[in-house]
Amino acid sequence: MRRNFEFKTVPGTLALIFTLGLLIAGKESQAQSRAIFVPYSTAGFGIGTSSYFGDMAPYRRPLASMFKMVRWSIGGNYTRHFTPRLGARASFTYARIAGDDYIMNRGSKYESNVFYARNLHFRNDLKEFSVQGIFKLIPDGRSYDRRPQFGAYLFAGVALTAHNPKALDSLDGDWVKLQPLGTEGQGNEGYAKPYSLVQFAIPVGIGVRYKINSRFDISAELGFRKTFTDYLDDVAGKYADPALFADDPLAATVSNRSTNPIAVRKGADRTESLKKFLQVNYQIDAADPLAALPATGYGAPGSARGYSPRLKDNYLFGMIHINYMLPSQIKCPPLK
C-alpha cells in the first residue's frame, strides 16, 4: 500500500515542480526582458506658435481664436526615457499670447456684438516651467538607436507660469503693464485684490516623432494648458468706478476704451461700426455714436467687462522640436 501511495503521488509532485519551474522561468524571462532596455536621455530645442482662449478669444469660435491672433513660442527640454513606453521631461517655454476685440470681431457678422464695442486688447509674454510625464503609443526598442522610425506619444504634467499682461498706451504708443493699474479697481476698497502674476497650469497634449538618424529626432506636438486664472488678458470682472482713476489718466484710458473712436493696435476708425452696434442692440440711430453709447449703460460702473466668469483663460502651444540623444555613460570593461 505504501509503494502504491508513493507511485501515485510522484506524478502529481513532478507536475507541481514543473509548473513552479515554468512560473519561475517566466518571471526570470520578464525580468530579463525589462533589463534589456537601456534607459537614455534626450535634449531638445523647439519653436512654434501660441494661441490664447479667453475673453478676447472665445471658446465658441475655436478656429478664429487659434489662428487670428496666433503668436510665437520657443523652448528647450530635457527628457529621460525610463522604459520603452514611459518617460519624463522638464521643459522651459517662452511664448507670447495676444488678443484684440477689434481684430476678432471686425466684419459685418460680429461688429454688432458687445465684444466689438468693448475695444480692449492685450499681449502677454509667458515664461513657463513644466514637468511632464510621457506615454509612448509606439514603444521604443531595447536602446535609443533601435527606436522605431515613427512614434507617437501623449503627455501631461504640471507647470508654473509667470505672466504680465500689457496694452498699448494710445498717447505715446508704449506697451504698459496692466496689473499695477488695477483696471477693474483691484486693490481699492470694495474691490478684489490684485491678481497674481505667477500661476499654475496643467499641460496636456499629443506629439509625433520621426527618427532622422541614430542621434537625432524631429517631433511635432500640440499642447493645451489649462490654467486657474481669468487674468491672462487682464479682463474678467466688471467696469470700475472711473472716479478711482481721477489721478491716473493712463489707468482711466486702458480700463474702458468703449468710447474711443480708434482701435488702438490697428489705428482703425470704429465710428461707423459703432452706429451699427447701437442700431442692432439699442435701436438708436446716432449721428455721434460715441456720445450716445454711455447713455445705453454700456461700460457703466458695475456692468460686465469680462463675459466668461466660469471659463478661465487658457493657452495652446504648437511646437516643432529637434531632439538629440545624449551619449550614455561609458562603462569600463570588467577585469579578468
The CA distance from 250 to 182, in Å, is: 11
Helix H, strand E, coil C: the string for 284-315 is CCCCCHHHHHHHHCCCCCCCECCCCCCCCCEE
Give the tens place of pLDDT for each residue, 19-56. Answer: 444 444 444 334 434 458 999 999 999 999 999 999 99
Q: Give the pTM.
A: 0.85
Dihedral sign from CA coordinates of 217, 80, 133, 66? negative
Among candidate residues 105, 120, 104, the one with its CA nearest the CA of residue 65:
104
Q: Which three cell numbers stand for residue 78?
A: 530635457
Residue 170 gets which letter from DSSP? T
Helix or strand (DSSP H, E) at 48: strand 40-53
The CA distance from 149 to 215, in Å, is: 12
CA angle 257, 258, 259 (to 5 degrees): 95
CA angle 298, 299, 303 (to 5 degrees): 85
Q: What are phi and psi of 63, to 5 degrees?
A: -70, -45
pLDDT in tens, the chain (336 residues): 444 444 344 444 434 444 444 444 444 334 434 458 999 999 999 999 999 999 999 998 999 999 999 999 999 999 999 999 999 999 999 999 999 999 999 988 888 888 999 999 999 999 999 999 999 999 999 889 899 999 999 999 999 999 999 999 977 789 999 999 999 999 999 999 999 999 999 999 999 999 999 999 999 999 999 999 999 999 999 999 999 999 999 999 999 999 999 999 999 999 999 999 999 999 999 999 999 999 999 999 999 999 876 789 999 999 999 999 998 764 545 555
CA angle 227, 234, 122 (to 5 degrees): 105
The CA distance from 232 to 236, in Å, is: 9
Give the tens place of pLDDT for each residue, 323-335. Answer: 999 987 645 455 5
The CA distance from 164 to 70, in Å, is: 18
Domains and CATH numbers, the chain: 36-182+192-234+312-325 (2.40.160.20)
User: pLDDT value at position 241?
Assistant: 96
Give the tens place of pLDDT for each residue, 85-120. Answer: 999 999 999 999 999 999 999 988 888 888 999 999
User: pLDDT value at position 10?
Assistant: 40
User: pLDDT value at position 108?
Assistant: 81
